A and B are shown apart, each in its own frame.
Chain A
């Protein structure tokens, strides 16, 4: 198969029509959004994802992922899309979220299908690192810590530690994970769609708290502006290329801990290159679920995630939270 990194004419026109973000390049940052372009958030769903039982069907999950990535990048095949995410020779980090354990963490199966597609796109196993804050978090979420360099690796920040120098933006001064700064060339962010008792919600933007040494300092004021400021730190802005929010199981109350009574089989994946648009979209899904359950909105409870709007403001420009600028694609 011919390998291309640049979009062909048909894709280019498609992207232009859709207001996609990839025009003219493969690894642009969200800061390149212009006022006239819409940002795309893909919601891939499969009501039969779990088949008859409660566990995910790997084949259907893979198909969901394929549909999502094709729709996001406007390509004819998933392989073409994945080749735009990372190039052979780059080390790709998969930032998962394992804090809450197996019930409401990034699904191991989802990570496996992402890894499979990366390998299909020419990224060898040895150039894939699955990471989170702590080895213990990863293990609680069902991952297996692995450090052999000739294999796929999986470890927490406690393995490589943190940079000694502070990275500073706005309200934030933090030491960044060396996994992010030294080990990875590109990052795919794999958060979970869930409620957060302090920050309102936790998805793409908040998941980057796992890349700093002092996240406990940044939950004040419902995480605003801290969450946005953390995402402004250059290694995060420059290396995170894709956000895939695991909404196979989602939680609308009681997070970030796993509260089975407030989870539901959402059976979907949210995918975007814009973390702000993704978080805004995910927030609305959680609010909708809360309304269905006759629960108060996060705004009414005083924990609306206003850091999402801050991330979109003129000082941050990490993406858009303007619904009129978000193209929601359901596949």
Chain B
């Protein structure tokens, strides 16, 4: 069922009634999203039929005399392209100016050097005359109310809802991306709506969501919007959680951590080779970012999507678990998530349950306290167990919290503190 409320051509307004809930795999864009962006890779404003209709419309611009007498003129005269919506465009916060109107992006470790009128790898930041702009400020292409467990954040206000938003763009290109329709597109290629920070915060409040989640694509690429929205949310008592690949430079990360409340990092693998070949990114800066998050006291959870044959060896699971324990602490939740074939990886099967269980057994053996399995509805490894008495303190079915046995952040049975943000 469509939940959209169209107000004018090319734009969609959101209302609390317009949103709905979905059960899906971790952080996949729901099919009944408020903004049905998945099918909008076509023309932003015109589909083919509309265009054919437009064929009857006179040319948009005036004609100047042709250089070749008697031939149709192709030269541009007066007039120009339709005006771009300037509401979506703000100067980027992290970049440096280079000679000859070039810019170097300092937001993510890729450090794209960008010529005038070109965009960075993310596709949503553009150099215009030597000034670098974000093109996705308030330009929301997906909005939905999700259980916070869907992010997944299992130790952050369990059972609550998150008003989840995304813009187009991503600073990596994972071959298994489940939301590639928006993450690998440019903002003008997806249907978007104008949702400024205060309006987003108001919508979250009206929807009784205690948190805003920046998710689905890669929030690092809509950094300026995310920070302002988090500030607007806090003014209304609404928290902000970030679902990210963690491919971000230290300076912007530190500033981000001042304004948000939790970050879930998709740690795609534990090898540079995988990051280079499958993700088109780098592992080292991601690990450094996660360490920084923890040092700054940010509540952090990790997801590791287990892709058969590519990142599912015992050695990699063990190295990952050892690194988490020694660099982040045993109390950081680690979710091993099931892969389903999509986007550019359709030749591999879904992750066998045995593989996920093997991963969990290794991480448990290394001493991590909270190891979960994801995209395995009904599995006992979706529950939170007290690391001391081993009883279930949060029982889940899919993304639904069935029972909680926590009191003031402690196990109800043995009073063992359970790490997390419980209010």
In the complex, per-residue mask of B57-89: 1 if CB is within 8 Å of any chain A CB, else 0: 111110100111001111111001110000000
Instruction: From known contacts A144-B77, A148-B56, infer whether A214 and B42 are also in contact, taking CB-CB under 8 Å.
Output: no
Is B116's beta carbon under 8 Å from chain A? yes
CB distance B74 to A161 under 8 Å? no
CB distance B100 to A216 under 8 Å? no
Instruction: From known contacts A146-B59, A256-B118, infer whether A160 and B280 are also in contact, taking CB-CB under 8 Å.
Output: no
- Selecting from B46-54, B369-377, B381-389, B397-405, the interface stretch reads B46-54
Choose one: B56, B184, B189; the contact of A161 (CB below 8 Å): B189
**What CA separation (Å) do A162 and B189 show in the bound complex?**
8
Residues of chain B contacted by A236 (CB below 8 angstroms):
none
Question: 12 A-B contacts, Cβ less than 8 Å apart?
Answer: A58-B67, A143-B74, A143-B76, A144-B63, A144-B76, A147-B57, A161-B189, A162-B189, A220-B121, A257-B100, A257-B115, A257-B118
Is B186's beta carbon under 8 Å from chain A? yes
Is B117's beta carbon under 8 Å from chain A? yes
Measured between C-beta atoms, what is the minimum distance from B341 to chain A in Å? Answer: 13
Closest 7 CB pairs of A and B: A161-B43, A149-B55, A161-B42, A146-B59, A257-B115, A216-B123, A257-B116
CB distance B74 to A213 under 8 Å? no
Tell me the residues in window 100-141 of chain A with beta carbons closer than 8 Å to chain B beta carbons.
Answer: 100-101, 108-109, 111-113, 115-116, 125, 130, 134-136, 139-140
* Number of B residues with CB within 8 Å of any CB on chain A: 56
In the complex formed, the residue of B with least CB distance to A116 is B71
Is A217's beta carbon under 8 Å from chain B? yes
Measured between C-beta atoms, what is the minimum distance from A124 to chain B in Å? Answer: 11
**What CA separation (Å) do A110 and B402 show in the bound complex?**
70
Is B15's beta carbon under 8 Å from chain A? no
In the complex formed, the residue of A with least CB distance to B121 is A216
Choose one: B77, B81, B123; the contact of A214 (CB below 8 Å): B123
CB distance A213 to B41 under 8 Å? yes
In the complex formed, the residue of B with least CB distance to A62 is B68
CB distance B59 to A144 under 8 Å? yes
Is B185's beta carbon under 8 Å from chain A? yes
* Number of A residues with CB within 8 Å of any CB on chain B: 57
CB distance A254 to B123 under 8 Å? no
Residues of chain B contacted by A150 (CB below 8 angstroms):
55
Tell me the residues in window 175-213 of chain A with beta carbons closer than 8 Å to chain B beta carbons.
Answer: 175, 178, 182, 197-198, 213
**What CA separation (Å) do A32 and B206 show in the bound complex?**
64
Tell me the residues in window 80-130 of chain B with beta carbons closer than 8 Å to chain A beta carbons.
Answer: 80-82, 100-102, 113, 115-123
Measured between C-beta atoms, what is the minimum distance from B49 to chain A in Å? Answer: 11
CB distance B68 to A139 under 8 Å? no
In the complex formed, the residue of B with least CB distance to A261 is B100
Instruction: From known contacts A146-B59, A160-B46, infer whether A214 and B72 are also in contact, taking CB-CB under 8 Å.
Output: no
**What CA separation (Å) do A146 and B185 show in the bound complex?**
26
In the complex formed, the residue of B with least CB distance to A135 is B81
CB distance B55 to A58 under 8 Å? no
**What CA separation (Å) do A219 and B63 show in the bound complex?**
37
CB distance A217 to B173 under 8 Å? yes
Instruction: From known contacts A146-B59, A164-B41, A216-B120, infer whether A154 and B74 are also in contact, taking CB-CB under 8 Å.
Output: yes
CB distance A145 to B116 under 8 Å? no
CB distance A158 to B188 under 8 Å? yes
CB distance A216 to B122 under 8 Å? yes
In the complex formed, the residue of A with least CB distance to B62 is A144
Is B343's beta carbon under 8 Å from chain A? yes
Instruction: From known contacts A148-B57, A217-B121, A257-B115, infer whether A115 and B46 are also in contact, taking CB-CB under 8 Å.
Output: no
**What CA separation (Å) do A158 and B77 show in the bound complex?**
20
In the complex formed, the residue of A with least CB distance to B125 is A216
Residues of chain A contacted by B46 (CB below 8 angstroms):
159-161
CB distance B51 to A159 under 8 Å? yes
**What CA separation (Å) do A100 and B90 show in the bound complex?**
22
Is A295's beta carbon under 8 Å from chain B? no
Is A13's beta carbon under 8 Å from chain B? no
Residues of chain A contacted by B54 (CB below 8 angstroms):
147
Residues of chain A contacted by B365 (CB below 8 angstroms):
none
Is A259's beta carbon under 8 Å from chain B? yes
CB distance B55 to A113 under 8 Å? no
CB distance A162 to B76 under 8 Å? no
Residues of chain A contacted by B101 (CB below 8 angstroms):
257
Is A242's beta carbon under 8 Å from chain B? no
**What CA separation (Å) do A113 and B70 show in the bound complex?**
12
Is A266's beta carbon under 8 Å from chain B? no
In the complex formed, the residue of B with least CB distance to A56 is B67
B39, B56, B100 — most chain A CB neighbours (10 Å):
B100
Residues of chain B contacted by A111 (CB below 8 angstroms):
74
Is B315's beta carbon under 8 Å from chain A? no
Measured between C-beta atoms, what is the minimum distance from B128 to chain A in Å? Answer: 11
Choose one: B67, B102, B188; the contact of A109 (CB below 8 Å): B67
Tell me the residues in window 283-327 of chain A with beta carbons closer than 8 Å to chain B beta carbons.
Answer: none
Is A276's beta carbon under 8 Å from chain B? no
**What CA separation (Å) do A161 and B279 show in the bound complex?**
27
Measured between C-beta atoms, what is the minimum distance from B208 to chain A in Å? Answer: 35
CB distance A152 to B51 under 8 Å? no
CB distance B115 to A197 under 8 Å? yes
Measured between C-beta atoms, what is the minimum distance from A90 to chain B in Å? Answer: 18
**What CA separation (Å) do A135 and B43 show in the bound complex?**
12
Is B416's beta carbon under 8 Å from chain A? no
Residues of chain B contacted by A219 (CB below 8 angstroms):
121
Measured between C-beta atoms, what is the minimum distance from B207 to chain A in Å? Answer: 30
CB distance B344 to A147 under 8 Å? no
